[in-house]
Copies of this chain bind each other. A is one copy, B any other.
Amino acid sequence: MNGNRLDEAARAAWLYYVAGNTQDQIAAKLGVSRQSAQRMVSLAVAEGLVKFRIDHPIAQCMDLAKQLRDSFGLVRCEVVPSDPDSDSTTLGVAQAAAAEIERWLRMEEPVVIAMGTGRTLKAAIEQLPSIECPRHKVVSLTGNIAPDGSAAYYNVVFTMADTVKSRSFPMPLPVIASSQSERSMLHSQPMIRSTLELASTAAVTFVGIGDLGPQAPLFEDGFISEQDLASLQQAGAVGEIVGWAFDAQGRLIDGITNDRVASAPIPARDTSLVIAIAKGGKKLPGIRAAIKGKLINGLITDETTAQALLNELN
């Protein structure tokens, strides 16, 4: 009589979800107690007889986000709808990232928030509303000095601190030092040191992911030379986070530029939530690698990219 029970359960579920009866009404109609009716309905749900379907683009995204979390062990994952007609690299993810940043800023207890750099993050910051958050600390993971000595345009800490009125800790450094010894020297300065230490205590970190293809932002913005880029590619680099280049397995690449990167290390994943904000085909290998190597444990991306990441899983 197993089938019969499921039959009745299906009928109860039908009456409940499709016909909109209450469990009392169902109980009366099927001639059982209300409790039994409740059990039938929940049995039908548990047995998967009832399919819920949300017919809206957002639902698809939430599905993908859940799959990404489950498949890759991400702590936090957000997927936004893709607009196939737009070739913006930030549309959607910037807004979603801003919402996520805002959630942290709205917390009552003081929080240390570490920020990477790049166009995506910049776009996200621009979406932030202006709020008063003097209790929080925003610390930059990366230098704010461009190769020409000016303040790097894509350094986001200034804009952010300005918008949200929090205490900010920029890094008066180049992104990549000219030599390993220069980096050591810079890092030994007391102020820098304390900022580096602060960064390592961040509760949450937001970073972009840069690709290392021919139009690598690191190269285009003049932080690394053409030779460096070629060497990195040669060494299998597929992406970079605040300057740290890594290969397809998400392992930081020894030598080349990485021994001169003046950025703070990416905060440890076991103590900090490290959320990458990135979408698009060019960044796909980098995103995949960063996840694989557990450089990040959070991701904000778009539908297309999410789908691509899951497809590669086979």
Q: Which residues of B contact A25 (CB under 8 A)?
A: 85
Q: Which residues of B contact A52 (CB under 8 A)?
A: 17-18, 50-53
| A1-51 contacts to B (CB < 8 Å) | 3-4, 6-7, 9-11, 13-15, 17-19, 21, 25, 29, 31, 44, 48-51
Check if B103 sits within 8 Å of A18, measured CB to CB.
no
A189 interface residue (CB < 8 Å to B): no
A234 interface residue (CB < 8 Å to B): no
Known: A48-B55, A55-B48. A81 touches B11 (CB 8 A): yes
Check if B55 sits within 8 Å of A129, measured CB to CB.
yes
A130 interface residue (CB < 8 Å to B): yes
Q: Which of A6, A49, A56, A63 has the most CB of B within 10 A?
A: A56
Check if B55 sits within 8 Å of A19, measured CB to CB.
no
* Interface residue count on the A side (C-beta < 8 Å): 46
Check if A15 sits within 8 Å of B53, measured CB to CB.
no
Q: Scoring A residues 204 to 237 as 1 if CB is less than 8 Å from chain B, else 0, what string do you get?
A: 0000000000000000000000000000000000
Check if A19 sits within 8 Å of B59, measured CB to CB.
no
Picked from B19, B29, B83, B129, the residue with its CB within 8 Å of the CB of A92 is: B19
Picked from B21, B49, B91, the residue with its CB within 8 Å of the CB of A56 is: B49
Known: A14-B62, A19-B92, A62-B18. A7 touches B56 (CB 8 A): yes
A191 interface residue (CB < 8 Å to B): no
Check if A58 sits within 8 Å of B14, measured CB to CB.
yes
Name A96's closest neighbour in chain B (CB-CB): B18
Q: Scoring A residues 75 to 114 as 1 if CB is less than 8 Å from chain B, else 0, what string do you get?
A: 0000011011110000110010000000100000000000
Q: Which residues of B contact A84 (CB under 8 A)?
A: 29
Known: A50-B52, A53-B129. A60 touches B7 (CB 8 A): yes
